[in-house]
Amino acid sequence: MDIKENWLSVRNNVSAFYVGNKRVINVTLISAVAIVAGSLYYSMSFLPDQEKKAGQKLAPLYYYFKNDSTQIITKGSTAMKIVSAAKIADDYWYTKKGKEAALMASIAFMKEKKYKDALNYLDKTDAKDEVLNASILGMKAVCESELGNTVDAAKMFERASSVADNDFSAMYLKKAGVHYEMAGEFKDALRCYNVIADKYSTSSEGSDIDKYVYKMKAKLGELNP
């Protein structure tokens, strides 16, 4: 069989396969085109438009946030036609400005001592910046602590310490250790204190960490008489 005959055979087989599976193939192709078109529309038209709308609604709130007007941040103002950061976060959670609004709302709720609401909006924000990301986890830990969830607070502080390897890590680790200690989880507290002693002894938290280590070892019966 020469090249021409091979080509004709392949073409006939493909043609026969298409005829036998025309409906499935057409549906698949149409679905693929629709998905690609939808993705392009979302990323090039819908999302930028939503980002712009969220930004416009968020813009008036910067002044009130800077001046600690927490009620405007959390509730908005009908009279001044200002939408709350909480609503912006709810409506535009998938945009960068929506996540910024969520962070703004959570800080305002924390200042109002509404820690459950603060946690709700902290869950709607995130950050690529390591320091800010650790701060968000730290704020979650504070909320858990204020709500009496001591172990959850300790775990969250420990998570914050692992985001980046710097002196902030020592601060979060010490808070984690203290909360584990408060919960009676002395092994976990000792683990956190030991990390500070080993890795961050030159930090301010490391300056007196030995007494925390000794106290936990005493609690655990690990000190030699």
**Three-class SS of residue 82?**
strand
Sign of CA dihedral 129, 63, 114, 93: negative
pLDDT for 86: 96
Q: Which pLDDT does position 128 carry in this prediction?
A: 82
pLDDT tens string, the chain, 225 residues long: the values are 555 555 455 455 545 554 555 565 455 555 555 455 445 544 555 568 888 999 999 999 999 999 989 999 999 999 999 999 999 999 999 899 999 999 999 999 999 999 999 999 999 998 888 889 999 999 999 999 999 999 999 999 999 999 988 779 999 999 999 999 999 999 999 999 999 999 999 999 999 999 999 999 999 988 765
> CA-CA distances (angstroms) from residue 44 to 5, 10, 49, 51, 98?
47, 40, 9, 11, 18
* Cα–Cα dist 159/91, whole Å: 29
**Domain boundaries, given as residue ranges, for the chain:** 127-225
Question: Which pLDDT value is given to residue 126?
Answer: 86
CATH architecture of the domain formed by 127-225: Alpha Horseshoe (1.25)
Q: Which pLDDT score, from 0 to 100, does residue 50 have? A: 82
Sequence-ordered alpha helix ranges (H) in the chain: 3-20, 22-41, 47-58, 61-66, 70-75, 85-91, 96-111, 115-122, 130-146, 150-161, 167-182, 186-199, 209-219
* 8 Å CB contact between 174 and 195: no
CB proximity list for 198: less than 8 A, separation 6 or greater: none
Residue type, position 114, single letter: K
